[in-house]
Chains A and B, each alone.
Chain A
Amino acid sequence: MSPIHGLKIAVPRGALFEGTVDLLAALGLDTDELRANDRKLLFEDIGVITMRPSDVPTYVEAGAADLGVTGKDVLLEQLGHAPNEHGRDVYELLDLGFGRCTMVMASKAGPDPAVESLRRLGVMRVATKYPRIAARHLEETGRQGEIVEVKGSVELAPLTGMVDAIVDLTATGTTLRENNLVVREEIVVCTARLIANPVAHKLKAAQIDALLGQLRGLPAASA
Chain B
Amino acid sequence: MIHPIPSGTRDVLPQETGEVRAITDTLRTAFDRHGYGEIYTPALEYESVLARADMAEAQPAYRVFDETGVVLALRSDMTVPIARVVATRYASSEPPLRFCYFAHCYRGVRPQRGQLRELLQAGIELIGSPAPEGTAEALTVLCRSLDAVGLKDYRVGMGDASLFPALMASLQVREPVRHGLLEALVWRDFVELGQRLHDAGLDGEAADLLLDVPQRRGGPELLTDAPEPAVEAVTGMRRVYELLDPDVAERVIFDLGLIRNIGYYTGAVFEVYDPALGAPIGGGGRYDELLGRFGRQLPAVGFALDVDQLHQALAGEERGTGLLLAGSADGAGGGALS
Contacts and interface: CB of A to CB of B under 8 A. Distances in A.
Nearest to A88: B113
Contact of B188 (A84, A85, A90, A209): A90
A44 B323 CA distance: 14
B279 A223 contact: no
A198 B275 contact: no
A87 B279 CA distance: 13
Main secondary structure of the interface of A (DSSP, over half): mixed
Contacts of A66: 324
A192 B316 CA distance: 32
B77 to A, nearest CB: 15
A81 B187 CA distance: 7
B323 A202 contact: no
B253 interface: yes
Contacts of B194: 95, 223
Contact of B155 (A90, A203, A209): A203
A215 to B, nearest CB: 13
A84 B109 CA distance: 10
B57 A61 contact: no
Contacts of A63: 277-279, 323-324
A193 B280 contact: no
B273 interface: yes
Given A91-B188, A198-B280, A199-B280, A84 B108 contact: yes
Given A84-B57, A205-B253, A89 B279 contact: yes
Interface in B216-259: 217-218, 253, 255
B192 interface: yes
Interface string B187-205: 1111110100000000000
A89 B309 CA distance: 15
A90 B191 CA distance: 13
B110 interface: yes
B110 A197 contact: no
A84 B171 CA distance: 30
B157 interface: yes
Nearest to B107: A86
Contact-size category for B: 20 to 34
A87 B261 CA distance: 12
Nearest to A86: B110
Interface string A54-67: 00000001111010
B188 A198 contact: yes
A92 B192 contact: yes
Interface string A73-102: 000000111001111011111110000000
Contact of A203 (B57, B110, B188, B324): B324
Contacts of B190: 91-94
B7 interface: no
Contacts of A202: 155, 157, 217, 253, 255, 271, 273
B191 A94 contact: yes
A185 to B, nearest CB: 20
A100 to B, nearest CB: 14
B57 A86 contact: yes
A90 B215 CA distance: 14
Contacts of A62: 278, 323
B322 to A, nearest CB: 8
Interface in B168-220: 187-192, 194, 215, 217-218
Contact of A95 (B191, B274, B277, B279): B191
Given A63-B277, A86-B109, A197-B278, A92 B188 contact: yes
A200 interface: yes
B297 interface: no
A93 B271 CA distance: 20
Interface in A95-127: 95
A85 B109 CA distance: 9
A91 B189 CA distance: 6
Interface centre among A84, A90, A92, A202 (most CB of B within 10 A): A202
Nearest to B273: A199
A144 B275 CA distance: 45
A206 interface: yes
Given A86-B109, A198-B188, A202-B155, 8 more contacts: A61-B278, A64-B323, A79-B189, A80-B110, A86-B57, A202-B273, A223-B191, A223-B194
11 contacts: A62-B278, A64-B278, A66-B324, A86-B57, A94-B190, A94-B191, A198-B188, A199-B277, A199-B279, A202-B157, A205-B218
Interface of B: 57, 108-110, 113, 115, 155, 157, 187-192, 194, 215, 217-218, 253, 255, 271, 273-275, 277-280, 323-324, 326
Q: Nearest 4 A-B pairs (CB), nearest first?
A: A63-B278, A63-B323, A92-B189, A91-B188
